[in-house]
Amino acid sequence: MSWDEAPHSVATVPDGDWDLTIWSWLRATARPTAIVLGLGFGLAACTALPGDGPWMGGAASTTTEALPFDVIDLTPTTIANYRQPPPIDRPSTVSNLPAGGRVAVAPGDAIKVRIFEPYEGSIFPTIQRPGADFGVQRVTDDGTINVPFVGTIKVAGLDLSQIEKKVAQQVTATGKAQEPQVIVEFVADRTHTVMVSGDVRNPGRVSLLEGVRTVVEAINKAGGPAGIGGQSANGVGANQFEVIVRRNGQIILQSQFSDVLAGGDIGLQKNDEIVVRPNPRVFTVLGAVVKAGNVDMSKHTVSLLEAMGMVGGLNDTRANKTGVYVFRLGELQTNPTARAKVFRLDLYQPVSIFIAQQFPVQPKDVVYITNAPLYEYDKILTSIYRTVSIVGVARGNIVSTGGF
């Protein structure tokens, strides 16, 4: 039966302006409505923005499908395996380092030699009078210095006291001094240094002769990580920097600066290389929250409850309180076969607040809050309603009432 052959029944519009039969109305609107529904569902799909996140119906711990990750429901029982780690502070291993050890002179160093005699009228003055300073003596490539009235002396590999004794012996052997007193001091240290580079205020060489014994002392001598005075200008703290120490070409330390400060400091040797570089520890929060995005971990440990608070909490009109997920990659560098994990929390349960306080968020984690089902349905219906209204206004059948 065609549209025109169908029985006619009359439906009268209450205001009496015009009469339309049911079938003529259907004939006039059936095709546009079908188009509208198609467009509506198409537009509804378009409104599912990437920021809405994945559909989490498949991430159920009871599914029999082989998933590339493990799904773990966070409960009072399972949280025991994932509690907040203990504080990172530990006893120092460098507190007993000697304040200074034997320092051998090497080519390139600059030293100052002074010679005194106990009696007036000698070549060298007494210690009460000036004139015994022979200026700066730079150690040559063959490890020698040239002292007036004394001659060339081999000093490479000797410490300051040994050099003093050797100069005194040689000047005595020449017959130019009686009971000489010799004082040797470092002027410029070129070999007993460590190199501090990267994101520090004053990169360059730091001398171990200035009381620098450890990595932290060397970084502090170089002005500290750039911009840090507890916090830098852009809000990045010690937890956001990484320290690397190389010795003889090998990496002997690679750690966050905050971990080094918490007891991970080590002693230094000459020619060590220290690199300080940004290594932001961040996690990402997506989905139905007030402000999604990347979040800096301003301290060593951040709980899931703190993480949600850092982004303003859940969006009351969108969030599905039963759909709080944490995505975590396995330790691929240390264990290539490690599986990713998806943790799920149901915030409708009062005990979940305590669980969220105990569950630690790690760097590179993704916290995702799903949309409530009613919100998803509302998006589809809103798209259909808008599309029907637009088509109706274009046909002149519906009077536009303004924005939606």
Identity of the highest mean pLDDT range in 102-116, 320-334, 377-391: 102-116
Q: How far apart are CA 130 and CA 114, in angstroms?
A: 10
Minimum mean pLDDT among 105-119, 122-136, 347-361, 380-394: which range?
380-394
Average pLDDT over residues 257-261: 88
Pick the more confident residue, 59 or 225: 225
Minimum mean pLDDT among 45-54, 268-277, 335-344: which range?
45-54
Q: Is the pLDDT of residue 2 over 60?
A: no
Question: If DSSP codes are grouped into helix, strand and coil, which group holds residue 91?
Answer: coil
DSSP code string of 126-164: PTTSS--EEEEEE--TTSEEEETTTEEEE-TT--HHHHH
Q: Is the pLDDT of residue 72 over 60?
A: yes
Confidence of residue 177 (pLDDT cuts 50, 70, 90): confident
Supply the pLDDT for residue 262: 85
Pick the more confident residue, 316 or 201: 201
Supply the pLDDT for residue 124: 76
Confidence of residue 386 (pLDDT cuts 50, 70, 90): low
The kind and range of the H/E element at 282 are strand 282-287
Q: How far apart are CA 243 and CA 276, in angstroms?
A: 5
Average pLDDT over residues 124-128: 71
Supply the pLDDT for residue 37: 41
Question: If DSSP codes are grouped into helix, strand and coil, which group holds residue 232?
Answer: coil
What is the distance in angstroms between the CA of the first residue and the CA of the last residue of the chain?
40
Give CA separation, 379 vs 45, 159, 217, 367, in Å. Answer: 9, 80, 59, 23
The answer to whether 112 touches 184, Cβ cutoff 8 Å, is: yes
Supply the pLDDT for residue 58: 53
Q: What share of the chain is helix, strand, coil (3-state, %, to 5)?
A: 25, 30, 45
Confidence of residue 222 (pLDDT cuts 50, 70, 90): very high
Average pLDDT over residues 360-379: 77
Q: Is the pLDDT of residue 30 over 50?
A: no
Q: Is the pLDDT of residue 171 over 80?
A: yes
Q: Nearest 5 degrees, angle CA 325-CA 330-CA 332?
A: 150
The answer to whether 344 touches 73, Cβ cutoff 8 Å, is: yes
Supply the pLDDT for residue 151: 86
Supply the pLDDT for residue 236: 52
Supply the pLDDT for residue 279: 85
Supply the pLDDT for residue 240: 83
Q: What is the pLDDT of residues 309-342, one digit of tens each?
A: 999 999 888 888 888 999 998 765 567 677 888 9
Average pLDDT over residues 383-399: 56
Confidence of residue 97 (pLDDT cuts 50, 70, 90): confident
Q: How far apart are CA 104 and CA 106, in angstroms?
A: 6
Q: Is the pLDDT of residue 396 over 90?
A: no
Minimum mean pLDDT among 59-68, 256-265, 326-335: which range?
59-68
Candidates 299, 296, 349; CA nearest to 324 is 349
Average pLDDT over residues 199-214: 89
Mean pLDDT score across all residues of the chain: 75
